[in-house]
Structure 1
């Protein structure tokens, strides 16, 4: 059954325009935060509050892919026949909120308002989780949805899932907790194991299982490459294997003709 409704309402067009504006806002905020044009760069603030679960700096290049995916999504949903679709009505304003929260997180973190930034990134994770859940309830209608809707949102949600955990550790260091040492290592390892378990559960049930898994594995792998203590390394590797295993099982257990749908739909 198609989700296209005959006419787009004024509200549909306003929502579509707001999402396109938000997608552009993310790119601008990301440029400001990455360059240090506003306050300190995000990388500098992170290095000043380093922890045992800090990813290697190159890992943050995934933001470019995330921004590109959301921009493609936003452009597509303003095209004729798209604004009035049920899937955009179900997810559009949540994705607008994600763009606002992401821009706010960048600006807050660059201004060294680390606690506020953590509150914002938790809010970002919540709205992305709602968006992904709503996409899961409305299966993709073809390759366009899989590549330009489910894929970008799932990739974004997976990265933010781990970034929220890393941010929590950074916030703790900012507030005076030790960033390394025995206690930090044990807590870091436990948190990564829990993160892997939760991410595996999401991969087993959600739309965009493979993009979500890919960004989680990217983030966890970047923590390993950074060279943390052995316990943290082992925990990250175990979490990665769990996520990859669940994603592979979900795709390979589907009939051959349905494997792309299982991966992205």
Structure 2
């Protein structure tokens, strides 16, 4: 059942409109400027370069974000405390997302890395705050919890991939033993953090699905054997964390889907 605050305020309406407009802006920027991201990533290739098909994950993320933007603006949703606690964080995430696309596409990788770190903080905070409030039905699980969890999982890995590319941009080797070792360490470190989030969070199925998708896209993009093995280990660890979280949760559906 939807839990409302006493009444919607002008601040709620401003937040609703800002989220909706920025959701549209980030999609427009992605459509207009997003094609430049792939060539730049390949120009600064590392063992953590994901295959091109991996980036299809942005389609459900953007579509889900638009759905969330419409959902949070519904009269029955505007004044909910959960939207008040997360709305501006997600509005900011749309700004950082659009700015990241433009910066990375322009080849300004250090700036792009700062922007995607800021994006990760925004979606991670929103994800964390959603975990503390049960979802208001299936629609919210799909449009809101699922989208934010998927987004958080994907950006967690995208940040690591961007860090590797930025290292090449500043002059670090993108190939050879040191690059492979660094890639393995980064991949396993991110896996440890994500697994911790899975064991503590909700909507863990879409969160983990995005992470597994990103790791698989990297491991199947013909990296060195060490990265393939590390990727396989990472996938097993993430999936095991999901199984443990769901099977030990008091409310398995909420743990799995929000």
If the TM-score is normalised by the length of the shorter chain, which range does it land in? Answer: over 0.9
- Could you tell me which residue of structure 1 aligns to residue 121 of structure 2? 126
**Correspondence for 1:91 among 61, 86, 93:** 86
Structure 1 residue 233 corresponds to structure 2 residue 224: no
1:3·1:87 contact (CA, 8 Å) conserved in 2? no
Aligned pairs for 1:11-160 (under 5 A) are: 11-35=11-35, 41-160=36-155
2:168·2:174 contact (CA, 8 Å) conserved in 1? yes
Runs of 4+ in 1 over 2 A off after TM superposition: 252-255
Aligned pairs for 1:208-219 (under 5 A) are: 208-219=203-214
- Could you tell me which residue of structure 2 aligns to residue 262 of structure 1? 255
Provide the C-alpha distance between the structure 2 equivalents of 1:90 and 1:59, rounded to a whole number of angstroms: 31
- Could you tell me which residue of structure 1 aligns to residue 237 of structure 2? 242
Structure 1 residue 204 corresponds to structure 2 residue 199: yes
Q: CA deviation at 1:78?
A: 0.7
2:201·2:255 contact (CA, 8 Å) conserved in 1? no
2:26·2:97 contact (CA, 8 Å) conserved in 1? yes
Which 5+ residue runs of structure 1 have no aligned equivalent? 36-40
- Could you tell me which residue of structure 2 aligns to residue 10 of structure 1? 10
Q: Find the residue that maps to 1:194 and give its secondary structure.
A: helix
Q: CA deviation at 1:93?
A: 0.2
Q: CA deviation at 1:137?
A: 1.7
Q: CA deviation at 1:2?
A: 4.6
1:69·1:148 contact (CA, 8 Å) conserved in 2? yes
Q: CA deviation at 1:133?
A: 1.1
Q: CA deviation at 1:259?
A: 2.7
Q: Find the residue that maps to 1:179 and give its secondary structure.
A: coil
Query: RMSD in angstroms over aligned alpha carbons?
Result: 1.2
TM-score by length of structure 2 reads 0.97
Provide the C-alpha distance between the structure 2 equivalents of 1:248 and 1:206, rounded to a whole number of angstroms: 13
- Could you tell me which residue of structure 2 aligns to residue 38 of structure 1? none
Q: Find the residue that maps to 1:137 and give its secondary structure.
A: coil
Of 3-12 and 191-200, more deviation after overlay is shown by 3-12
TM-score by length of structure 1 reads 0.94
Provide the C-alpha distance between the structure 2 equivalents of 1:5 and 1:146, rounded to a whole number of angstroms: 20
Q: CA deviation at 1:145?
A: 2.3
Which 5+ residue runs of structure 2 have no aligned equivalent? none
